[in-house]
C-alpha cells in the first residue's frame, strides 16, 4: 500500500472522511445550529468534486487491483459529488421547516455518496458488494428518517427487506462467478474467460444474478416494486437525491460488469437485458399515466428512464460499445439535472405532514410562482425529450446507438413510450398553469437557485450538446 493507492480514490476518501468529521462534529453542535453540519458536508462534497475534476485518469489499478481510477470512475465521482451537493441544498431548508434538522442526515448522505463513488472505482467483485452495501444501508435508514410518519417507516422497512434480497442476489452471483472462474478480481475473471479455463455455465448464472441484484438498484421492472413506495414515503429531498444518484451508481456497476467482465456473455445476456429494458419502459410509462401523487409520478418516471438507459446497456455488447457508454453517461447527467430540478419544485411545494403532494395541490402554482412554474415546464419537456432540452439529446444519442446496434424493436418501444410519457408529464404542467387553485410553495433561496439553475442548465447545455458528449466520450473504462 502506498500513497498512490490512496490518491487513486482521493475523491471517495474526502467524502467519507468528511462524513466521519460531520458525525463527530454533530455531537458538539447545539440543537438549533445543526445547519453547520449541512455546511460542512457541502464543503466536503465540494472538495470531493474538486478532487474528482482535478484527478488525471490512470490506466493502472490500486490496492492490489481492487480499485481503478479510470476516466469513467472519475466522471462518476464528479457526478455523484455534484448530485450530493444539490441534495444537501434540497434538504437544508426542508428539514428546518419540518423541525427535523439533524446532523445524522448529512453524515449518512455522505457515506452513501462515498459508496456510490466507490461503485464507480470498483475493480473487484468484493468491492462492488462493499460499495453496494455502503451506499444502500444509509439510504435504508434515511428513508425512515421521518420516524413519526408511518409512510416513512413503511418505506424504510420495504426498502430494507427488498434491498437485502438484492444484496443477497449480488452476493450469490459473486459466489457463482468465483465458482466459474476462480477469481473475484475483474482482471482474473477476464483472464479466465480469455484462456478458456472458466466454467461458462457458472459464469453465466453468476452474471444473471448480478444483473438481477443491480436491476433492483436501478429499479428495472420487475425488480422495481420498492421504488414508488419508498419514493413516496421517504423525505422528498432524499428521494430527489436517491432517484438521481442511486440509478447512476447501479448503472455504473452494470456498465462495468457487462462491458468489461462479461462481453463474452453478451449474446446470452442481451435477451435478458433487452427484456428488462422493454418491460421497464412499457410498465414504467404506463403506470405513471394513472398516478395522482407527484412523488409516485416521479417514481414511475424514474423507472421509465431506467428503461431507456437499459437500451444502452444492451448496446454495450455491440461494436458501438464506446458510443453506448458515452450516451448513457450523457443521459444520466441530463436526467440527474432535470430530476433534481423537478424534485426541488416538489420540495418547495410540500407542506408539513406530507400535504401538498397531490397533483391537485399544484393547481395554479405555475401562475403564482412563475419561475418555479417555468422551471418545472422545462424539466417536464426534458423528461419527454422535447427538442432544445438536454433530455432530447440524451434520447437521441441513446436511440441512435440502439439503431446502430440493430436494436430496432427497443428503439421503437422507447419512442412509443416517450410519446405516452408526454401525457403525464404535460399533465403536471396543465395543473400548474391551466387550473385555478390555492397551491402554495416555499420561497427558499436554495430551492429557487436549484430549480432555476437546473432549468437554465437543461436549456443552455442543450445548445452545446457536443461539449458534454465530448466529456462523456472521454470517460473511458479501463479494460484489462
Partner 1 sequence: MSITVLSGLAGSLLAAPLQRTAPRRAGWLLALLPLGLFIYFLTLLGPVSAGRTLVETLPWAPGLGVEFSFYLDGLGLLMALLVSGIGALVLVYAGGYLEGHPQLGRMYAFLLVFMSAMLGVVLSGHLLTTFLFWELTSISSFLLIGFDHKDETSRKSALQALLVTGGGGLAMLAGLVLLNQAAGTLSIPALLASSPDLLKHPLAGPAAALILLGAFTKSAQFPFHFWLPNAMAAPTPVSAYLHSATMVKAGVFLILRLGPVLGDHPLWTPLVSLTGAVTLLLGAWMALSQTDLKRLLAYSTVSMLGLLTLLGGLRTPLALEAAVVFLFAHALYKGALFMVAGAVDHETGTRDVTRLGGLARRMPQTAAAALPAGLSMAALPPLFGFIAKEVVYEAALESGLFAFAAVFAASAVTVFAAAVIAVEVFWARPAGSPPREPHEAPLALRLGPLVLAGLGLLAGLLPGPLDRALLSPAAAGLVGHPLQPGLALWHGLTPLLAYSALTFAAGALLYLARRPLRRLAAALTAGFGPDRLYDLAYAGVFRLAAWQTGLLQHGTLRYYLNLTVLAATGLVGTVLLLYGGLNMPAAFPGATFYEVLIAALILLAAGFAITTRSRLGAVAALGVVGYGVAAIFLLFGAPDLAMTQFLIESLTVILFVLAFYHLPDFERFSSRRTRLRDMLVAMLAGVLMTVLTLSAVGIQIFPTISSYYAQAALPEAHGRNITNVILVDFRGFDTLGENVVLALAAIGVFALLKFPKRRQP
The residues binding partner 1 (CB under 8 A) are: 157-158, 161-162, 165, 169, 176, 179, 182, 199-202, 204-205, 208-209, 211-212, 221-226, 228-229, 268-269, 272, 283, 286-287, 289-290, 386-388, 393, 396-397, 399-400, 403-404, 411-412, 415-416, 418-420, 422-423, 426, 430, 433-434, 464-466, 469-470, 473
Grid-cell match 472538495, residue found: 47
Using the minimum distance from each CB to partner 1, give the nearer residue, 211 or 450.
211
- For residues 273 and 275, give the distance between their C-alpha atoms in angstroms, rounded to a whole number: 5
Least Å from the CB of residue 84 to partner 1? 25
How is 92-137 classified by DSSP, letter by letter? HHHHHHTT---HHHHHHHHHHHHHHHHHHHB-BHHHHHHHHHHHHH
Instruction: Give residues with Cβ within 8 angstroms of 2, minimum separation 6.
Output: none
Using the minimum distance from each CB to partner 1, give the nearer residue, 54 or 164.
164
Using the minimum distance from each CB to partner 1, give the nearer residue, 46 or 264.
264
Neighbours of 99 (CB within 10 A): 7
- For residues 29 and 31, give the distance between their C-alpha atoms in angstroms, rounded to a whole number: 7
Least Å from the CB of residue 387 to partner 1? 4
Is it true that the peptide bond before 113 is cis, omega within 30 degrees of 0?
A: no
Residue 258 has what DSSP assignment?
I
Least Å from the CB of residue 415 to partner 1? 5
Cell of 61: 489499478
Using the minimum distance from each CB to partner 1, give the nearer residue, 39 or 161.
161
Least Å from the CB of residue 197 to partner 1? 10
Backbone torsions φ then ψ of 61, nearest 5 degrees: -120, 170
Using the minimum distance from each CB to partner 1, give the nearer residue, 81 or 310.
310
Using the minimum distance from each CB to partner 1, give the nearer residue, 146 or 393.
393
Least Å from the CB of residue 320 to partner 1? 12
Which residues pair with residue 122 across a beta bridge? 67
Least Å from the CB of residue 469 to partner 1? 4
- For residues 335 and 47, give the distance between their C-alpha atoms in angstroms, rounded to a whole number: 24
Least Å from the CB of residue 330 to partner 1? 9
Least Å from the CB of residue 39 to partner 1? 28
Which residues pair with residue 185 across a beta bridge? 124
Using the minimum distance from each CB to partner 1, give the nearer residue, 85 or 108.
108
Which CA distances in Å does 67 have to 8, 62, 64, 408, 412? 8, 5, 8, 36, 38
Coil, strand or helix at 71: helix
Instruction: Give residues with Cβ within 8 angstroms of 368, minimum separation 6.
Output: 439, 440, 441
Using the minimum distance from each CB to partner 1, give the nearer residue, 79 or 170.
170
Using the minimum distance from each CB to partner 1, give the nearer residue, 40 or 186.
186
Residue 185 contacts residue 123 (beta carbons within 8 Å):
yes
Least Å from the CB of residue 438 to partner 1? 17
Grid-cell match 448464472, residue found: 205
Amino acid at each position: 500500500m502506498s500513497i498512490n493507492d490512496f490518491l487513486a480514490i482521493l475523491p471517495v476518501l474526502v467524502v467519507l472522511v468528511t462524513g466521519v468529521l460531520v458525525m463527530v462534529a454533530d455531537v458538539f453542535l447545539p440543537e438549533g445550529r445543526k445547519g453547520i453540519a449541512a455546511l460542512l458536508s457541502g464543503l466536503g462534497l465540494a472538495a470531493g468534486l474538486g478532487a474528482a475534476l482535478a484527478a488525471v485518469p490512470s490506466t493502472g489499478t490500486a490496492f492490489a487491483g481492487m480499485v481503478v481510477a479510470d476516466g469513467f470512475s472519475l466522471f462518476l465521482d464528479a457526478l455523484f459529488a455534484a448530485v450530493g451537493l444539490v441534495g444537501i441544498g434540497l434538504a437544508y431548508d426542508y428539514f428546518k421547516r419540518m423541525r427535523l434538522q439533524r446532523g445524522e442526515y448529512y453524515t449518512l448522505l455522505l457515506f452513501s455518496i462515498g459508496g456510490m463513488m466507490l461503485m464507480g472505482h470498483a475493480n473487484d467483485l468484493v468491492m462492488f458488494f462493499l460499495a453496494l452495501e455502503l451506499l444502500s444501508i444509509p439510504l435504508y435508514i434515511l428513508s425512515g428518517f421521518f420516524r413519526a410518519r408511518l409512510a416513512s417507516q413503511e418505506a424504510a422497512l420495504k426498502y430494507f427487506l427488498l434491498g437485502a434480497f438484492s444484496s443477497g442476489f449480488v452476493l450469490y452471483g459473486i459466489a457463482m462467478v468465483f465458482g466459474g472462474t476462480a477469481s473475484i478480481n475483474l482482471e482474473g475473471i477476464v483472464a479466465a474467460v480469455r484462456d478458456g479455463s472458466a466454467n461458462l455455465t457458472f459464469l453465466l448464472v453468476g452474471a444473471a444474478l448480478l444483473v438481477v441484484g443491480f436491476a433492483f438498484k436501478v429499479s428495472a421492472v420487475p425488480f422495481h416494486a420498492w421504488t414508488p413506495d419508498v419514493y413516496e414515503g421517504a423525505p422528498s429531498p432524499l428521494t430527489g437525491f436517491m432517484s438521481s444518484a442511486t440509478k447512476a451508481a447501479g448503472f455504473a456497476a452494470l456498465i462495468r460488469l457487462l462491458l468489461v467482465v462479461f462481453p463474452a456473455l453478451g449474446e446470452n445476456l442481451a435477451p435478458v437485458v433487452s427484456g428488462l429494458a422493454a418491460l421497464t419502459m412499457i410498465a414504467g410509462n404506463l403506470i405513471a399515466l394513472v398516478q395522482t401523487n407527484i412523488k409516485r409520478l416521479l417514481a414511475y418516471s424514474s423507472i421509465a428512464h431506467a428503461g431507456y438507459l437499459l437500451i444502452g446497456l444492451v448496446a454495450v455488447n455491440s461494436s458501438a460499445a464506446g458510443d453506448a457508454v458515452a450516451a448513457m453517461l450523457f443521459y444520466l447527467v441530463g436526467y440527474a439535472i432535470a430530476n433534481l430540478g423537478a424534485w426541488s419544485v416538489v420540495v418547495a411545494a410540500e407542506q408539513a405532514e406530507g400535504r401538498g403532494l397531490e397533483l391537485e395541490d399544484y393547481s395554479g402554482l405555475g401562475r403564482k410562482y412563475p419561475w418555479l412554474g417555468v422551471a418545472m415546464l422545462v424539466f417536464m419537456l426534458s423528461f419527454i425529450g422535447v427538442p432544445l432540452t438536454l433530455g432530447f439529446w440524451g434520447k437521441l444519442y441513446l436511440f441512435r446507438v440502439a439503431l446502430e446496434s440493430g436494436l430496432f424493436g427497443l428503439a421503437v418501444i422507447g419512442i412509443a413510450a416517450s410519446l405516452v410519457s408526454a401525457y403525464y408529464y404535460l399533465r403536471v404542467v396543465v395543473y400548474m398553469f391551466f387550473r385555478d387553485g390555492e397551491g402554495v410553495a416555499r420561497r427558499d433561496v436554495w430551492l429557487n437557485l436549484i430549480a432555476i439553475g437546473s432549468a437554465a442548465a437543461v436549456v443552455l447545455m442543450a445548445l452545446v450538446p457536443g461539449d458534454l458528449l465530448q466529456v462523456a466520450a472521454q470517460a473511458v473504462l479501463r479494460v484489462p
